[in-house]
Structure 1
């Protein structure tokens, strides 16, 4: 006779949810969406959601970025949540203030303020393997105190353009004039009648330049050329940036949801075809190259020297391309100077170039972007005491952009190789959050303590991603933040496929790619005492019996 098993049955029904605490970092577009998705999915389950937001309000990038000309480059109807459009946009390409108002209104409608702690910055996350939880340290900015929290699942929705940085130029701390970064704008300073230097040639600088150039004198310091293209989805804005929606049009959309949905889908379809342009040496890429070159030459007013400086030779899209309304015209103006040669240093009175030229400047605007390393802004300590900031010092290696080997129950809403330049960004953000809640549900209902992707799954995804990137424009020879500011480095920015590809990939988690640890030594303990919730609550026990043409709700057992 063998010894009696020590296994203990669990007194529960199949899949009975256990209490789970979820913490989301950030109340921007992702954090706001997370609340709506969470409430719909877990409203009848013992699940808690808490959001920590470092700012004084929700809205993320549209709260923080308020520089002159700050706006969305794509039609606003393609920059809303997939489940709900906004028929009240004032125009196709709306500014930061209107975007903030929209997302703030959605936060109020979805109940975000019931979950969020504003002015709270996560300063450390440490995995506790014994408890199967993340231990968090949070700074209460208002009171300058540190509080502690724990959670079963940690979702980082802090964004990929969140930690702005000063340019690495000698002497920046010696400058006596007005110094500002585009992501930390000071609205109280007047540039009227000033000589202003603008460092940078990315999307922020492209939007700022036309607004500053017209005030007096401007010097634009452009280290790298950038493709300036026709407006994105221009067919939906026949008058370009001057296009406005009439009150009649907005009212028609509001009272005709089918018509409005059709319009929104047309914009979404247009944006999601964009990925086809990203293949090197394709006919579409060649056509876009020639079209964009012609547009830039025309906007530069035939100034050949400026055109040779400003028009790239690399593939369109290698760097983030921008429509740049009024940008090239501003650079070609008589009161603007453009320099693409190296800066030697910043002096107390301005900027000195490597060739010895000095520019006396009343103000310097640094539109020099963000930390694009994808390394967290705070220690994230996973298994074996490893800090993700050190793990990713040389290269951020994720699983499908959402998870990391050795960091259980940690999901990124916009991790490395998230589809940030592939088409509809917000739809992909929604999908990563749904994926995060798939993880929450599996942990909650299947006796799972923790899970994380295997190192092998991460390595094989990275191998595929790197090979696929060789087919795409992002590996062309350009300096890009998609490659952390390098020319020929690995692509950490966009995803290696289209938006539909990404959404379909994440719609069904590949649990076979995960290392899973269970709460019990027997993975099937969650099967319980052999009954389901239908039996426990008196539900329909013949739900699987159907009849063609019959009203299923009225059939026997319903």
Structure 2
């Protein structure tokens, strides 16, 4: 475990979380010579790629694109990276740039509060220790808190229950009757890996996903050699993939090209599922793109096996030795696996974050759902920058591109305040309001607002997750810290005779 005293007595920046976002900012702060510490709740870096160790865990963004632009890797084994490989990449980047020396492991943050007179954030860790710094950067992301499912009778179940994001590798699934709850991005990866060993698998789905073919394959030795010895080929591969994926925002936001994608889905389904009755159960009843579109070559072949039953009723009740659907049907099972995704709208939960005048982030500022200027700053919470915050998720491209844009903005803000002698900056309420009105207006015409229920939206129906346009637009907005949109104050409260700067 790294000792926080090995960095500085009081870091300039406290980062919460050592995943892709936290490590990225750590690298840039290290390069700039700005003292920082990363508080990580686990005993290793890696974020969601450390936590999601279920069988088959992988990324649906090409590996050449799902990596830092300043640290391209020619060592990927496949076109789409798998969880262990991605985690290893994050670790290698953190080690190469000296970020590991700044990580304090087993340090789950429970609370953070801002002292406006001293211009300091005080961060409280679960063991009672506290860290103070000028800047606070939560980098826990939107997909770090597993969605808890409340099902009647779950506590009475006498078998084994776990969530896919907290996979229990001590459970032997061979020969067991398994109920899988959910058919989202995690389920389509782990079900094909376990279906061959279980005795019976019952898939409870509320709504069928759109699943497209995944253009995944191993890289050949020759390709790896070329990428390793001719860096321009790797850069070209990344650029080509970026442009292809960036173009996918057009059907999602403009509706153009959706019939072509829908046709690709139907052809994939017909080829893999010969049974017309099962095809009907696997055909979504909501508009394409309203929920996350998934990619897999293994999902349909897996759930057409003879030991799989697809139940479209959804899970209604759990009994001591069985699960029951909404139609009253019952299936006896030994294991229940929840593949129900993450609570994206419960951003930064369960941390208690307090800003100016005792303002509580989730209870007060976000009572109608998370929102932030540029997805990073929230009025009333000076010098706090959220990475992968509200409305910065992508439905079409690599989130790493967004994270690099955000970390550049944070670094620019820190430098600006230092150069101009300001203690802290608080985004103006009117700026945040106008920005979020714009975001919601742009989202209104997208496929994500077509009327279905998805993790993109909060309980009141507000889309608090997705960015509604090109990533280049976001990068242009975050290229420099726009101080004019912030109220700046000195570190010490001004006296009655002085005026704020």
Q: TM-score, normalised by structure 2?
A: 0.93
Is the alpha carbon distance of 1:147 and 1:20 closer, same or farther for their aligned partners in structure 2, counting shifts above 3 Å? closer
Deviations 1:22-71 (A, max 9, x none): 1000011111111211122x22xxx3111100010001111111111111
CA distance in 2 between counterparts of 1:434 and 1:477 reads 35
Residue pairs, 1:261-272, within 5 angstroms: 261-272=235-246
Determine helix, strand or coil for the equivalent of 1:169.
Answer: coil
Residue 195 (str. 1) matches residue 177 (str. 2) = yes
| 1:280, distance to aligned residue in structure 2 (A) | 4.8
CA distance in 2 between counterparts of 1:76 and 1:505 reads 26
Residue 30 (str. 1) matches residue 21 (str. 2) = yes
> Which range moves more in the overlay, 266-275 or 119-128?
266-275
Aligned partner of 1:355 in structure 2 is: 327
Does the aligned pair in 1 maintain the 2:213–2:268 contact within 8 Å?
A: yes
How many residue pairs were aligned? 484
Residue 170 (str. 1) matches residue 152 (str. 2) = yes
CA distance in 1 between counterparts of 2:456 and 2:139 reads 19
Aligned partner of 2:437 in structure 1 is: 463
Aligned partner of 1:11 in structure 2 is: none
Aligned partner of 2:336 in structure 1 is: 364
Aligned partner of 1:110 in structure 2 is: 97
CA distance in 1 between counterparts of 2:410 and 2:115 reads 20
Residue 63 (str. 1) matches residue 36 (str. 2) = no
Determine helix, strand or coil for the equivalent of 2:61.
Answer: coil
Does the aligned pair in 2 maintain the 1:136–1:148 contact within 8 Å?
A: yes
CA distance in 2 between counterparts of 1:90 and 1:162 reads 26
Aligned partner of 2:135 in structure 1 is: 153
Does the aligned pair in 2 maintain the 1:374–1:415 contact within 8 Å?
A: no
Larger Rg, first or second structure (1 or 2): 1
| CA RMSD across the alignment | 1.7
Aligned partner of 2:202 in structure 1 is: 219
Residue pairs, 1:35-434, within 5 angstroms: 35-40=26-31, 42-43=32-33, 47-139=34-126, 145-215=127-197, 216-231=199-214, 234=215, 241=216, 243-282=217-256, 284-301=257-274, 303-377=275-349, 378-391=351-364, 392-434=366-408
Residue 437 (str. 1) matches residue 411 (str. 2) = yes
Determine helix, strand or coil for the equivalent of 2:112.
Answer: strand
CA distance in 2 between counterparts of 1:374 and 1:436 reads 23
Does the aligned pair in 2 maintain the 1:207–1:325 contact within 8 Å?
A: no
CA distance in 1 between counterparts of 2:393 and 2:109 reads 25
| 1:20, distance to aligned residue in structure 2 (A) | 6.7
CA distance in 1 between counterparts of 2:420 and 2:56 reads 50
CA distance in 1 between counterparts of 2:72 and 2:449 reads 35
Does the aligned pair in 2 maintain the 1:74–1:93 contact within 8 Å?
A: yes
Determine helix, strand or coil for the equivalent of 1:123.
Answer: strand
CA distance in 1 between counterparts of 2:136 and 2:291 reads 32
Is the alpha carbon distance of 1:213 and 1:106 closer, same or farther for their aligned partners in structure 2, counting shifts above 3 Å? same
Match of 1:472 among 437, 446, 457: 446
CA distance in 2 between counterparts of 1:90 and 1:342 reads 37
Does the aligned pair in 1 maintain the 2:191–2:299 contact within 8 Å?
A: yes
CA distance in 2 between counterparts of 1:277 and 1:156 reads 32
Residue 499 (str. 1) matches residue 471 (str. 2) = yes
Does the aligned pair in 2 maintain the 1:171–1:347 contact within 8 Å?
A: yes
CA distance in 2 between counterparts of 1:246 and 1:22 reads 43
| 1:523, distance to aligned residue in structure 2 (A) | 6.8
CA distance in 2 between counterparts of 1:35 and 1:508 reads 19
| 1:278, distance to aligned residue in structure 2 (A) | 0.6
Determine helix, strand or coil for the equivalent of 2:235.
Answer: helix
Aligned partner of 2:12 in structure 1 is: 21
CA distance in 1 between counterparts of 2:354 and 2:441 reads 30
Does the aligned pair in 1 maintain the 2:253–2:468 contact within 8 Å?
A: no
Gaps of 5+ in 2: 1-9
Aligned partner of 1:483 in structure 2 is: 457
